[in-house]
Amino acid sequence: MTHHDEQRAETVVQMWGVTMQFPGVLANDAVDFDLRRGEVHALVGENGAGKSTLMKILFGLHTPDSGVIEVDGAGVEIRRPQDAINLGIGMVHQHFMLIPSLTVAENLTLGIEPRRGVFYDLEGAVRITSELSKRYGLRVEPRALVSSISVGQRQRVEILKTLARGARILILDEPTAVLTPQETDELFRVLRNLVQQGMSVVLITHKLREVLAASDRVTVMRGGKRIGTVETAESSADELARMMVGRDVLFRVDKDEATPGETLLEVHKLGALDERGLPALRGATFKVGRGEIYGVAGVEGNGQSELIEVVTGLRRATSGWVDVAGARIERYSVRRRRELGLAHIPEDRLTYGASATASVAENAAMGYHYRRPLAAWLWLSRGKLLAWANKLIRAFDVRGARPDTPMGTLSGGNMQKVVVAREMSHHARVLIAAQPTRGVDVGAIEFIHRKLIEYRDQGAAVLLVSAELSEVLSISDRIGVMYGGRIVAEFDGRTATEEELGMYMLGARTESRPTA
């Protein structure tokens, strides 16, 4: 189904020798790229490999220094997005550009509004929306307010928006970063449907699983260069990973057997409410020992976020207790918990984990800024702050960062390294690592996993909460599955399988099984 006859494999976009120089970075170095009609073409590479730049050039957001672009065999100049749209090229950005207070139909027809006389024709807009929705199999509710629909639905609206403007070449920039696994599968079904109708799709991503699941061909970029283009069916995750990072990436993380010591973190029948005041955590219970990584697996929204927030002091518990190294901490302030030896890599680095406008040094100091070595009394030593940041930058190989670089200018992976470095640099006894590798490139994922294991080996208890099942499986010593606000089953990390965990994660099984 993913293979098309050679006759049908006609090239719709051809880019030759595209070069783009940004100050200090050669973002694209003589890159060739071709897109065929009716294919999903994955464009992969680590953060900063130049894949987004290449596609922004195709969409007219950047003008390349040199290079030739042909659409349907004819040379074109794309100076502005409008040029690209006129050529039938549409782009769905990572951050949606929708107006929350308007309906789906109104958003969809923004700028191409149907009119009845001088008035906006809402019924016309609804009709257009339903027709497009039906034709391409993207289910949306035309009259729903965008603010009331899920992220997955918003993405569908974005895709429909480009289709409504006549796009037949669709560029999706990391579309799955914001989606749940189910929404991701749904998206891939939609893309398949689109290419069967003769559209062409470029899928920018760095998740290999998605490349293998959704694409027909893959182009790998590294350091601004095209490394190669392969047929997905003839490739493998290992091969692609090698092409992406230029070396073999360990998917199975090597680690010694865990030698769990005494319990350092104990959560007992913990309950908490979510933002809407509904119970999200309903009596979660588990223990993590010294020198152990306890992984929490689960479909997002089953109380994992609330669990982390309650343990780290950002949310109040309504029942139950939390014990760190023998101290009941559920009523402690965040600062007291940190002083007691609790460190926290938060799930969303830009909400809790960092300040984009502050410098790397200021970010690296947070939580430990008021005591030695950084501060004496109320005086915060600038020299020590910079030295400290330099030390972390070196130890964690944070690329492109100096102590005074604004945090927001770093790539996601490097930003995460700063957060991880900060939380690991104070020898906390208990480390809460929530989605520690979300939105991070392959090289950095491996690096962070190694660091987590190293940290465990130094005698810490690590609580790993991740939506990536493979992550939980590859580094946890024990695994608890969270479902409906409780830990419904625990497994030995060495023997657990994805299928088994999946049954519990999806609620197909709820009986707890004793740990092996």
Partner 1 sequence: MLSFLAALVVSGVILILLGYNPLPIFELLLIEPFRSLSNIGGVLERMVPLLLAGLAVAAAFRAGVFNLGVEGQLYLGAFAAAWVGFTLAAPGPVQIVAAMAFSALVGALFALIPGVLRAYFNANEIVTTIMLNYVAINLASWLVTGPFKAPNVGSADSEAIAATARLGRFLPVSRAHIGLFIALALAVGLYLLLYRTTIGYELRMTGANSRFAQYGGVSVPKTILIAMLVSGCLGGLVGGVEVLGIQYRFRSGFSPGYGFDGITVALLARVEPLAMPLAALLFAVLRSGSSIVGVRSDVGREVVDVLQSIIILFVTAEGLWYFVRRRRAQRENAAPQSSGGA
Stretch that binds partner 1, among 194-202, 217-225, 370-378, 506-514 (CB under 8 A): 370-378
- Residue from 344, 449, 456, 486 binding partner 1 (CB under 8 A): 344
* β 11-22/66-71 pair status: antiparallel
β-bridge partners, 92: 172
Residue 112 vs 376, nearer CB to partner 1: 376
- Report how far residue 59's alpha carbon sits from residue 55's, in angstroms, rounded to the nearest whole number: 6
Site string for partner 1, 259-278 (x = CB under 8 A): ----------------xx--
Cβ nearer to partner 1, comparing 148 with 510: 148
Q: Which is nearer to partner 1, 351 or 495 (CB)?
A: 351
C-beta of residue 479 within 8 angstroms of C-beta of residue 501: yes
3-state secondary structure labels for all residues of 48-92: CCCHHHHHHHHCCCCCCCEEEEEECCEEECCCCHHHHHHCCEEEE
CB of 322 to partner 1, least distance (A): 16
How many angstroms separate the most distant Cα atoms in the chain?
A: 77
124 vs 367, which CB is nearer to partner 1?
367
**Single residue of 253, 366, 386, 503 touching partner 1 by CB under 8 A:** 366
Considering the rule CB under 8 A, would residue 426 count as an interface residue with partner 1? no
Is 49 or 410 the residue whose CB approaches partner 1 more closely?
Answer: 410
User: Looking at 47-55, 280-288, 366-374, 450-458, which segment touches partner 1 (CB under 8 A)?
Assistant: 366-374
Question: Which residue's CB is nearer to partner 1, number 7 or number 351?
Answer: 351
Q: Is the dihedral of CA 175, 181, 183, 187 positive or negative?
A: positive
Q: Is 380 in the site for partner 1 (CB under 8 A)?
A: yes
Are 319 and 271 spatial neighbours (Cβ–Cβ below 8 Å)?
yes
Residue among 325 and 375 whose Cβ is closer to partner 1: 375
Q: Which residue has the tokens 């047929």?
A: 231
Contact characters 131-170, partner 1, x per CB under 8 A: ----------------xxxxx-------------------
What 3-state class would DSSP assign to 14? Answer: strand
Residue 338 near partner 1 by CB under 8 A: yes
Of 448, 361, 445, 356, give the one whose Cα is nearest residue 401: 361
- Measure the CA–CA gap between 353 and 323, rounded to whole angstroms: 23
CB of 110 or CB of 375, closer to partner 1: 375
Total number of residues binding partner 1 (CB under 8 A)? 35
Complete DSSP assignment for 226-273: EEEEEEGGG--HHHHHHHHHSSPPPSS---PPP---SEEEEEEEEEEE
* 347 near partner 1, rule: CB under 8 A: no
Alpha carbons within 13 A on the beta-carbon side of 135 = 13
Residues that bind partner 1 (CB under 8 A): 147-151, 275-276, 312, 314, 333-335, 337-338, 344, 346, 351-358, 362, 365-367, 369-370, 375, 378-380, 382
